[in-house]
Chains A and B, each alone.
Chain A
Amino acid sequence: MNLAIRDIRRNSGRFALTTIGIGMLLMVVLGMGGIYRGLVDDALVVTRGVGADVWVVQRDTRGPFAEISRLPRSVVDRVATVPGIHGAKEFVFHTIQREHRGKPLRMGVLGLGWPIDKGEGLPLVAGRPLAQNHFEMIADESLGLALGEKLRLAKDTYTVVGLTRWLVASGGDGIACFTSRDAQAIQFDEPGESIRLERRARRARADAIDFGRTQPRVLERAAGTSRDIAALPGPAISAVIAGLAPGVDPANVQRIMGGWGDVTVYTATQQEELLLKGSVDRARRQILLFRVLLTIISAVIMALIIYTLTLDKLHPIALLKLIGAPNRTIMGLILQQSLIMGALAYGVGYLIGMRLFPLFPRRVLVTNDDLLRVAGIVLLISVVASLLGIWKAMRVAPNEAIG
C-alpha cells in the first residue's frame, strides 16, 4: 500500500493547489529559459538566414546589426575580385518606424540582393518570394501584416507577397524584406520639399562660382537629380556579404581585404560572436541570473511546503514508528510526496507554458534540451526539498503518538 498517495488523496485539494502554484513557478523558469534561447536565436536568425561566409563592413564598425555601417556600392565589385570569394552582394539593413492603421509599426528593413537573391532562402510560411525588382515585400508575421496588404513607405506603395515566421532583428522587431534598391529608397527617403531646397541650394552654390557661371551645363546639372551628378556619392549600403569557394581559408581572405583602408572583414563566426557579445549579451546575462534566482526560489518554496506537509503528519509518523514502521517507510512517504509534487508541478508548468508562450510578443523558444534540464533540476529540487522534512520526521519519538 502506498502511504504517500493515500495521504495526498486525503488532502487532495490543498495538494492540487500547491502543485499548481509550484507548476506556475516552474513555468516561469521554463519561460525564462525560452526567452533566453529566443533572444539568442532571434539575434542570429538574420545572419544565419543570409548564410554569408564573409561580412565586409565599414572600417572599425561592428557591422550593421550593432551600429550604423555605410559602404559605397562599389565595394561589392572590389570584394568580388578577391580570389576565393564568390557571390559577393550588397547587404542593406536598417530599422524604421512608421504609422500603419493608426498604430506605430517598427520593422527591420532588409535588402535582398536582387536578382540573385529573391528570398527563396527565407522561412516562408505563406505566399511567395519576390517576383519583381520593385514594390514587393516579404513581411514577418509579427508585423501583423496580411498577405496582399498594401503599405505605403517612402513615396511608393509596397504589396506583401510573402510571410515569414520568427524572422526578427536582435531587438525583436519583425523584419520585412525588399529588393536592396527598394530598401535603400526607403532608408534614404527625403520629403519632396527638402529635395527641392537642396537643389535650390546647389544651384545657388553653382551660381556663386565662376565655373558654374561659365558652364551652363553645370548649372543645369546642379539643379537636377542627385543621381546624375558624378561628384555626389550614390546611396550607401550597410555591408557586403559573400560566400567562400570550397577549401578557401577565411583568414586568408580576411588578410587580403584587411589591407584595404576603408573596410573591416568578419567571418560568419565572428559576426555571430559580435552579435551575442554585443547587443544581446546583457539581456542574456540578465535573464540567466533571473532564472537562477527563480530556480532557487522554487527550491526554497518547495522545501518549505514539503516541510509543512511533514509537520502536519508528525502524529501519524510517530504512530507509524510506534507500530514498528522502519525509517525507510517514513522517508519513502516524504520523498515520494516530494517527487510526486515535483513531477505534477512540472507537468502543469509545461502544459500551461506551451499554451501561453506562443502568445508572447517575442519568441519563447523551449528546446528539448531545456525541458530535460529543467526536469533534472526539478528532480533534484524534489529530493533536496524532502531532506528538511525527512530530518524533522526522523526526530519524532514514537511516544509522541500517545501524548
Chain B
Amino acid sequence: MGEPLALEASGLTKVYGHGHTEVVAMRDATMRVRRGEVVALLGPSGAGKSTFLLCVGLINPPTRGSVAIGGRLIQDGPDSLGDLRRFRREHIGFVFQKSNLIPFLSAVENVQVVGELVGKAPSVARRRAMELLGELGVGARSLNMPTQLSGGEQQRVTVARALANQPSLILADEPTAALDSVRGRQVMQLFRDVSHTHGTAVIVVTHDHRALDVFDTIYEMEDGVLTQTTHASVLGQRSAG
C-alpha cells in the first residue's frame, strides 16, 4: 500500500430539513484526493458545492457517508470520531468567498491566532504570520485592521491564515470571487505552489474557468451529484454553450 490519501470522502449524503422542507443537497458524493493534489469543484449555484466542503471540512456532519483525512476515519455518518475542532485547527485550512477575518484583530494577528491555537509560542506564530503575509504581498498592511484592507487584501490575509498551520487539507469556497482576474490567478497559483512544495491537498470551489489549468483534477457537481470530469470537457462545454 502507498501513502494514505489526504482525503477520502465516501458516499456523502446531506439532507437539510425534514418533511415538506426536506432538501437533499448532496447525494452519495465520493472523492479521493492524494497528497499534493489540487482539485477544482465546479457547478451551478445551489448544486451542493458548499455543502460538500462543509462536510469534508468537519463543520456540518453528513446525513450518511464517511470522511477520512490522512487515512484516519474522522466522520462516520452523523457521528464524529474525535475532537473535530482540534482536528480542524491542526489539519484543515479554510478560505471562504467573503473574507472571514476576526474584526478586532489586525491582519497579522488574524494569522498569528491560529498558530497560537495549536500551541505555538506567540513570537514563533507571529514570525510565521509575517512571513506568510510577506509572501502573499500584504506584508506592508500587516498592522492594519480588516476594515482598513481592500477586499483582495482581506482575501490574501485569509489565505495566509489557512496556510499558517501547514494543514494537510485546504478547502476554499470561491476564494477569488472578490479578486480581479490577475489577483485571482495569483491565488490559485499560490495554492498550487503550496500544494506541490508541502504536499497539501487543496479543493477549490470556483466559477472561474480561465484558471482551470492550475488544477490537477476537476470535479463537477449538479443537483447534489458529484462527478469527475476533464479539462477538455469543461472547456468544450463552455465553447459550445
Q: Measuring CB to CB, which residues of chain A are less than 8 angstroms from any residue of chain B?
A: 1, 3, 6-7, 9-11, 315-316, 319-326, 329, 398-399, 401-402
Contact = CB atoms under 8 A, between A and B. Distances in A.
7 contacts: A1-B113, A3-B104, A319-B102, A322-B94, A324-B85, A324-B88, A325-B85
Given A324-B86, A326-B86, A399 B117 contact: no
B89 A6 contact: no
Q: Which 8 A-B pairs have the closest CB atoms?
A: A324-B89, A324-B88, A10-B104, A7-B104, A324-B85, A316-B102, A402-B96, A6-B104
B73 interface: no
Contacts of A402: 50, 96, 98, 100, 173
B156 interface: no
Contacts of A321: 85
Interface string B93-109: 01010101011110001
Contact of A1 (B85, B88, B116): B116
B112 interface: yes
A311 to B, nearest CB: 14
Contacts of A3: 104-105, 113
B103 A325 contact: no
Of listed B59, B90, B109, residue having the most chain A CB within 10 A: B59
A329 B117 CA distance: 9
Contact of B117 (A6, A319, A325): A325
A383 B155 CA distance: 37
A319 B100 contact: yes
A201 B95 CA distance: 109
Give the size category of B's interface with A: 20 to 34
Interface in B21-72: 50, 54, 59-60
A153 to B, nearest CB: 68
Query: Which secondary structure dominates where chain A touches chain B?
Result: helix
B112 A1 contact: yes
Given A325-B117, A329-B117, 15 more contacts: A1-B113, A10-B103, A10-B104, A315-B103, A316-B102, A316-B104, A321-B85, A322-B59, A323-B114, A323-B161, A324-B90, A398-B85, A401-B96, A402-B50, A402-B100
A341 to B, nearest CB: 16
A322 B113 CA distance: 13
B4 interface: no
A315 B102 CA distance: 8
B120 to A, nearest CB: 11
A3 B54 CA distance: 26
Contacts of A319: 100, 102
Given A1-B109, A325-B89, A399-B59, A320 B94 contact: no
A324 B114 contact: yes
A6 B105 contact: yes
A321 B90 CA distance: 13
A323 B94 contact: yes
A326 B85 contact: yes
Contacts of B92: 324
Of listed B89, B102, B114, residue having the most chain A CB within 10 A: B102
Contacts of B60: 399
Contacts of B94: 322-323
Interface string B163-205: 0000000000100000000000000000000000000000000
B78 interface: no
B137 interface: no
B70 to A, nearest CB: 16
Contacts of A6: 104-105, 109
B89 A323 contact: yes
Contacts of B88: 322-324
A92 to B, nearest CB: 69
Nearest to A318: B100
A326 B119 CA distance: 12
A323 B59 contact: no
Interface string B142-158: 00010000000000000
B134 interface: no
A96 B122 CA distance: 72
Given A6-B105, A398-B59, A324 B173 contact: no
Of listed B109, B117, B122, residue having the most chain A CB within 10 A: B117
B227 to A, nearest CB: 25
A7 B105 CA distance: 8
A337 to B, nearest CB: 11
A324 B50 CA distance: 19
B117 A323 contact: yes
A1 B59 CA distance: 25
A11 B86 CA distance: 30
A88 to B, nearest CB: 75
